[in-house]
Structure 1
Amino acid sequence: MNTPKRYLITSALPYANGHKHIGHLAGAYIPADIYVRYLRAQGRDVVFVCGSDEHGTAIPIQAMKEGTTPQAIIDKYHTIMKENFDDLSVSFDVYDRTSAPVHHETAQEFFTYLNDRNLLVTKESEQYYDEATSTFLADRYIKGECPNCHFMGAFGDQCEKCGTALSPDELINPVSTLSGAPPVKRATKHWYLPLDQHEAWLREYILENHKDDWRANVVGQCKSWIDGGLQPRAVTRDLDWGVKVPLDTPDAAGKVLYVWFDAPIGYISATKTWAQREGKDWRPYWLDNETKLVHFIGKDNIVFHCIIFPLMLQLHDYIVPENVPANEFLNLEGDKMSTSRAWKLDMQDYIDDFIKKENGGPALADCLRYYLTAIAPETKDSDFTWKGFQDAVNGELLNKFGNFMNRTMVLMHKLTGGKVPKWHADIVTERDNVLMAEIKTAKAKIEELLEGYRFRDALGEVIALATLGNGYLQLNEPWKKVKQVDAEGKVTEAAQKEIDNCLHLSLQLCANLAILINPFLPNTAKKMCHLMKVVDAMLEWKNAGSLKLLSVGYSLRPPELLFRKIEDEEVQYQVEKLKAGLEKAKAAMEAENGNRQSAIGNTAATPSGAANAPLSLGEGPGVKSEIQYDDFAKIDLRIGTVTACEKVPKADKLLQLTVDMGNEVRTIVSGIAQHFTPESMVGKQVMVVANLAPRKMRGIESQGMILTAEQPDGKLILVGPNEATLAGSGVR
């Protein structure tokens, strides 16, 4: 393929609803930054765009959690994410935001263009509606019991405990997160992008034109989607947070553009922001076929960036992506990263614990960039471990790459007076020729890998070249040759020539390594230039492979270590911090599950004095699937007497009960503290699920579950016997 006239590179827009972890960094941002820095070093016309995705239900939900407004949330996390990317040396040309007026205008124009040309269709469907708040409910505004793991706090789109993707219709006992009331179904009208009408174009675009140059995981997922039957996809939704549907009709009232539709248009609006700032025209970057558009994403965004957004672009006469290098997932210490379980390493945490520390700085940003690239999940999921991080930094960056640079600089100051020594062509050895050949060919090998988005292998080639340099020094042993002296005690001419050639070639290799490592570790490359007293212009890609980058007789600065060692104590601290976060999140999740179980799911018997009480949310025909008697017989219900009770520290909803079960005493944690005082529970007889598997809540092992019934006003009533009953009695 001919070299494109210009490049437009995008990284997936991160949601501005919370901190982003290193899985996001490894998937979409560092690979894109490596590619962009390489293109810049080539002197190509390239624009690197990204920005905060500030619409969708995730934003107002986070606002509710933090007790603030959606605007405050996006302002907070947009700033944090932008600073995080800066601290980790991700070099966007523009980091915009979808709340900006230019984005609203661009997204509305896009919708209008498609709608005016009848490229969208309308359909009426039923959607969950909260009558108490007069609101149509997006998936994330609905909670209920997960049909897979029976976690009581699953959302309408996903269970955050087991990870199962859900639809609101699959939830057991769904309730609105806005009011707590069960939702009803109501008809609503929406606009749809008819993917099914464009299957032929999508097959040609993906499965014919790009079947060989796109990654197999990308083509495979797209093929599965297309073969499974494409369906129209809604581009609007009932919500009050987002880009308003630009139609003055009753059907459009209270509707916004669906976030999946408006978010990728953010690439276009961000380009406009950049162009206005730089005094340039944005149009060639989106309308000229000589522009190469590349999306860097994680695999969870493949469908949007390979099927849906390209179709939107094609229908609007924009250019379509030439490649979409989607990475697989990055796991953490052998387990999938999860924000809800706190099993994650946020960019902010790494920045605080390493880069911002007294012995941190930009070199520590490069350490993370190095490890994430070395284990990049380009073709399959990979695993970040703190031991692996330590080994990569100490064993590869420090002992191989950094060690070669440091040894060369130290020896140069000791053996050649701190200056670049002469090159003696008359004594060139086969060993010299081999290394010179490797230096000259490394550029082409690394370039081919970078052009093919194989960043992991490309980085490996740079480290391999540094390893050759270490071997070259070790075999030449200039520190021994200095002992070859004449009768006057001076180093012999022959020995000095060998020392000169060894260090001259080693220094030229250091300069080449600075150029080749620059796309991956930009801070390291700059420090190498500083030590060699050369300007950053030397880092231009055309200079790679040259053996005349440093002039003979030129004085260089004293050596400094490029990287510091990662200590065992740092690794141990991070592992313990990770485990502590997991336990805290687990306790919070179990507390929430316990609260909902107490509130809605456990009314096997009618409470004393409430024979005619209304059914709770957990009862009623058609709510749960029918079971057989044998299923019910598996539950061991027994009467227990509460002998002691106290509040669980730092848990507003939890009580810790000591319950006499007749032949044993059990500890049970229950989410009823907002309905009963500890004193009022002592002496009460309660119904207990006695054979429920124990589980820890706030560090306390709960050995059963007491049953309650929820009244229409939200009040809980204990489920127990009508008269005093022997503790331990079974319920039939």
Structure 2
Amino acid sequence: MAKFNRYLITAALPYANGPVHIGHLAGCYLPADIYVRYLRAKKADVKFVCGTDEHGVPITIKAMKEGVSPQDVVDKYHKIIGDSFAAMGISFDIFARTSDPVHHKTSQDFFLKMYNDGLFEEKESEQYFDPEKEMFLADRYIVGTCPNCGNDKAYGDQCERCGRTLSPDELINPHSALSNAPLVKKKTKHWYMPLQNYEPWLKEYIIDGHKEWKNNVYGQCKSWLDSGLQSRAMTRDSNWGIKVPLPDAEGKVLYVWFDAPIGYISATKQLTENWADYWCKDDTKLVHFIGKDNIVFHCIIFPAMLKAHGDFVVPDNVPANEFLNIEGEKVSTSRNWAVWVNDYIQDFPDQQDVLRYVLCATAPETKDNDFTWKDFQDRNNSELVAVFGNFVNRAMVLMHKLCGGKVPALHPEFMNDGDKDILKEFGLAKEKIENSIETYRFREALSEVIEFARKGNQYLQKNEPWILASVLEKLKAGEQHPKYPQYEEKDIAFLQARIDICLHISLQMTANLAIFSHPFLPFTAKRICHMLKVVDRMLEWDNAGSDKLLSVGYTLRPPELLFKQVENEQVTAQIEKLHAGLKQAMDAAAANAPAVEEAPVAPPKPEIQYDDFAKLDLRVGTILQAEKVAKADKLLKLLVDIGTEQRTVVSGIAMHFNPEDIVGKQVTLVANLAPRKMRGIESQGMILMAEDNGKLIFVNPAEAVKPGSGVS
């Protein structure tokens, strides 16, 4: 960390078309906040910027549904989202808006710099046009019949009935969702960024320069670059967004994924007049926290834009998380299958840190993970209450009971090896936590915090100061304790010292727990500081690992319970609420849509003889590699291990699977199919797939088998 003099941390700009759910928190906002709080504790020069993304089709679609203007939508949800983040302790230095004039000017200036440098390609293409509304339509404004399942309400980008990804040209009888008018094709001009021109630099920057990036990020970037980049439009036809600042660009706006990341720059401009120090000096560390669906934009397109502009630093890291599912199902805002942050705050007041803890402990750092309310309850009750909270409460209660509410002395002359060993844990815990945080392994860092509290409980249990106090009380009364006759009156000083030592060390551990936990559980850390009667300055990272945070004789406040049990009734209520929300959303969707028959099952093919089937050589294979085929949206190039050899297979499944998600999958391969060239690649077989209402599923054995195993 020493080579950087300042840090600029960004979290993905959420669309201002709805509230945020816990999947958003777990994906990027909580990890970013943990990292920033740690940097601040290190007294680093750091800025944490975010804001709402207030342009693009999702905003206008929401406005249509609610019967209001796009501006009304973004005003409403900017506040809801901002309030939710603030309530959860997400400590942005600024939460800006892409509708702000500063952002419009910054984005237009950025575009003009690239335009004046000749970095765009001007291209004409034919796109769908609504003659009644007199406007070009984004894919979501085009409705027609799905060629796959026959749904006559399919959108121009996807059929929500069968899930198939579509383009407007694939729809049967496409028409406008705004006016219901038949569409016409009309020529339109746009400005394209030739991303292929930046391929050599991007490969040097990412593939050679950042092998330390998370596997999911590095792998997805490599797949895109290996497939070859193409020119991408940086403008759109729309009446909502940032106007293209050219005289011949009437009715055109900047592509939302051109202007949105520039929102990080404009937000920094609003935050500080020294914004250029954070964006233009090489000793700045820029880190983007995002979800995996935004990797290509933050790792390839935005860095290429920054490189093309020429005056900015590029990201040092992009620690993207995978997705968080809920109760075993993918989050779906349209189906209302989500735990909304503003609902959680109402249902669990003053328990923000419980959600922060659970979402970090189960964070989808390397793969999709699952949030369940039962796990939420178990982690709260068995870890926060029974370990963390229990240790702090025991230390505080015993100190008030046995030491008069003051920090007792340490008495070095009476310390034993166990005391010295636990003191060594202070520095070891600090080192483990900071190493994990600095390498973006937040789950691992949090587990070290809990482990430190667990060792505190074990230390208390081993030394049993409450038992020693009972023995001491007997001896002072001139009596011998019946269970501990080995202690005599001459041991009074020793026993008092052992009580003091145990509780002194436990209180110093409590102070360290406040520092260690603060990036993760900021509300809890400050409550500990209140009990210990120390100022927030104690939470600085330089103090972590110290055994001299509390002065001997210092009076402390009475103990407070840090956490409370989550009861079965609360869990049941949340699960019922989740399912009720789903039912309500599905009922509303059914009421607003005509009944559509299920896609018919394909009729059986003509009967064959056994000898016909016996001609097929079906073998189980394992996918070793998967990558996109250049200039072919639907094709993946697979390397499949079939035991005796490795086969190259080209498969038309790219619209259904991400390459990095299917590596390691077992498949069934038609191994004796004659080779066939596709896009210049010789395909040596065919993968068998099942189709369920437009969803493709691999045909594979129920249990893993050796590659090359025959299927009969």
Q: Same fold (TM over 0.5)?
A: yes
Contact between 2:288 and 2:318, CA under 8 Å: does it hold in 1? yes
**What is the SS of the residue equivalent to 2:51?**
strand
Question: Structure 1 residues 443 and 630, CA, compared in 2 at 3 Å: closer, same or farther?
Answer: closer
Match of 1:343 in 2: 337
After superposition, residues 590-605 of structure 1 pair within 5 angstroms as 590-595=590-595, 597=596
Is structure 2 residue 468 aligned with structure 1 residue 471?
Answer: no
Is structure 2 residue 126 aligned with structure 1 residue 139?
Answer: no
Contact between 1:366 and 1:524, CA under 8 Å: does it hold in 2? yes
Q: Of 277, 302, 305, which residue of structure 2 is paired with 1:312?
A: 305
- Kindly provide the CA deviation profile for residues 420-447 of structure 1, in whole angstroms up to 9, marking residues without a partner as x: 0110101211211121111121111111
**What is the SS of the residue equivalent to 1:96?**
strand
Match of 1:43 in 2: 43
Is structure 2 residue 97 aligned with structure 1 residue 97?
Answer: yes
Q: Of 245, 251, 256, which residue of structure 2 is paired with 1:254?
A: 251
- Kindly provide the CA deviation profile for residues 283-331 of structure 1, in whole angstroms up to 9, marking residues without a partner as x: 1111000000000000000000000000101111210000000000000
Is structure 2 residue 282 aligned with structure 1 residue 285?
Answer: no
After superposition, residues 13-162 of structure 1 pair within 5 angstroms as 13-148=13-148, 150-162=150-162
Residue identity opposite 2:225 in structure 1: I
In 1, Cα distance between equivalents of 2:476 and 2:188? 99
1:488 offset after TM fit, Å?
3.6
In 1, Cα distance between equivalents of 2:602 and 2:377? 55
1:134 offset after TM fit, Å?
1.2
Contact between 1:152 and 1:592, CA under 8 Å: does it hold in 2? no
Contact between 1:48 and 1:94, CA under 8 Å: does it hold in 2? yes
1:147 offset after TM fit, Å?
4.4
In 2, Cα distance between equivalents of 1:575 and 1:195? 46
In 1, Cα distance between equivalents of 2:146 and 2:576? 31
Match of 2:268 in 1: 271
Question: Structure 1 residues 488 and 368, CA, compared in 2 at 3 Å: closer, same or farther?
Answer: closer
Match of 2:667 in 1: none
Residue identity opposite 1:305 in structure 2: H
Match of 1:456 in 2: 443
CA RMSD of aligned residues (A): 2.0
Question: Structure 1 residues 61 and 542, CA, compared in 2 at 3 Å: closer, same or farther?
Answer: same
Match of 1:242 in 2: 241
Segments of structure 2 that go 5 or more residues without pairing to the other structure are 479-488, 606-691, 693-712
Match of 1:323 in 2: 317
Match of 1:201 in 2: 201
Contact between 2:327 and 2:370, CA under 8 Å: does it hold in 1? yes
In 1, Cα distance between equivalents of 2:583 and 2:61? 24
Question: Structure 1 residues 258 and 330, CA, compared in 2 at 3 Å: closer, same or farther?
Answer: same
Residue identity opposite 2:79 in structure 1: T
Match of 1:549 in 2: 549
Match of 1:501 in 2: 501
- Kindly provide the CA deviation profile for residues 180-219 of structure 1, in whole angstroms up to 9, marking residues without a partner as x: 22322221110011111111111111111002x1001001
Match of 1:667 in 2: none
- Kindly provide the CA deviation profile for residues 485-507 of structure 1, in whole angstroms up to 9, marking residues without a partner as x: 35542892221111111100000
1:155 offset after TM fit, Å?
2.5
Residue identity opposite 1:131 in structure 2: P
Contact between 2:268 and 2:275, CA under 8 Å: does it hold in 1? yes
Query: What is the aligned length?
Result: 592
**What is the SS of the residue equivalent to 1:126?**
strand
In 2, Cα distance between equivalents of 1:135 and 1:524? 54
**What is the SS of the residue equivalent to 2:364?**
coil
- Kindly provide the CA deviation profile for residues 260-281 of structure 1, in whole angstroms up to 9, marking residues without a partner as x: 0000000000000001xxxx31
Match of 2:586 in 1: 586
Contact between 1:23 and 1:329, CA under 8 Å: does it hold in 2? yes
Contact between 1:191 and 1:234, CA under 8 Å: does it hold in 2? yes
In 2, Cα distance between equivalents of 1:409 and 1:146? 66
Question: Structure 1 residues 163 and 389, CA, compared in 2 at 3 Å: closer, same or farther?
Answer: farther
In 2, Cα distance between equivalents of 1:271 and 1:79? 20
Contact between 1:330 and 1:381, CA under 8 Å: does it hold in 2? yes
**What is the SS of the residue equivalent to 2:186?**
strand
Question: Max radius of gyration: which structure?
Answer: 1
Match of 1:566 in 2: 566
Match of 1:665 in 2: none
TM value normalised by structure 1: 0.79
Contact between 2:84 and 2:342, CA under 8 Å: does it hold in 1? yes
1:175 offset after TM fit, Å?
2.5
Q: Of 368, 387, 403, which residue of structure 2 is paired with 1:416?
A: 403
1:164 offset after TM fit, Å?
4.0
1:347 offset after TM fit, Å?
1.1
In 1, Cα distance between equivalents of 2:163 and 2:454? 43
In 2, Cα distance between equivalents of 1:148 and 1:494? 83
Match of 2:703 in 1: none
In 1, Cα distance between equivalents of 2:343 and 2:173? 38
Is structure 2 residue 13 aligned with structure 1 residue 7?
Answer: no
In 2, Cα distance between equivalents of 1:158 and 1:37? 40
Residue identity opposite 2:402 in structure 1: L
Match of 1:405 in 2: 392
Is structure 2 residue 299 aligned with structure 1 residue 299?
Answer: no
In 2, Cα distance between equivalents of 1:148 and 1:585? 25
In 2, Cα distance between equivalents of 1:489 and 1:125? 98
After superposition, residues 659-678 of structure 1 pair within 5 angstroms as none
Residue identity opposite 1:15 in structure 2: Y
Q: Of 323, 329, 332, which residue of structure 1 is paired with 2:326?
A: 332
Contact between 1:221 and 1:302, CA under 8 Å: does it hold in 2? yes
**What is the SS of the residue equivalent to 1:7?**
strand
Contact between 1:152 and 1:593, CA under 8 Å: does it hold in 2? no
Match of 1:482 in 2: 469
- Kindly provide the CA deviation profile for residues 347-384 of structure 1, in whole angstroms up to 9, marking residues without a partner as x: 111112112xxxxx2xx111110000000000000000
Contact between 2:407 and 2:555, CA under 8 Å: does it hold in 1? yes
Question: Structure 1 residues 145 and 434, CA, compared in 2 at 3 Å: closer, same or farther?
Answer: farther
**What is the SS of the residue equivalent to 1:292?**
strand
Contact between 2:20 and 2:84, CA under 8 Å: does it hold in 1? no
Contact between 1:11 and 1:295, CA under 8 Å: does it hold in 2? yes
1:344 offset after TM fit, Å?
0.7
Contact between 1:160 and 1:340, CA under 8 Å: does it hold in 2? no
1:14 offset after TM fit, Å?
0.3
- Kindly provide the CA deviation profile for residues 664-713 of structure 1, in whole angstroms up to 9, marking residues without a partner as x: xxxxxxxxxxxxxxxxxxxxxxxxxxxxx9xxxxxxxxxxxxxxxxxxxx
Residue identity opposite 2:394 in structure 1: R
1:82 offset after TM fit, Å?
0.7
Question: Could you tell which deviates more after superposition, 530-539 or 579-588?
Answer: 579-588
Residue identity opposite 1:190 in structure 2: H
1:173 offset after TM fit, Å?
3.8
After superposition, residues 172-211 of structure 1 pair within 5 angstroms as 172-211=172-211
In 1, Cα distance between equivalents of 2:357 and 2:268? 29
Segments of structure 1 that go 5 or more residues without pairing to the other structure are 356-360, 603-624, 632-692, 694-732
**What is the SS of the residue equivalent to 2:290?**
strand
Residue identity opposite 1:582 in structure 2: L
Question: Structure 1 residues 301 and 629, CA, compared in 2 at 3 Å: closer, same or farther?
Answer: closer
1:398 offset after TM fit, Å?
1.0
Question: Structure 1 residues 289 and 629, CA, compared in 2 at 3 Å: closer, same or farther?
Answer: closer
Contact between 1:153 and 1:592, CA under 8 Å: does it hold in 2? no
TM value normalised by structure 2: 0.81
**What is the SS of the residue equivalent to 1:144?**
strand
Residue identity opposite 2:477 in structure 1: G
1:157 offset after TM fit, Å?
2.4
**What is the SS of the residue equivalent to 2:594?**
helix
Contact between 1:158 and 1:164, CA under 8 Å: does it hold in 2? yes
Residue identity opposite 1:125 in structure 2: S
**What is the SS of the residue equivalent to 1:370?**
helix
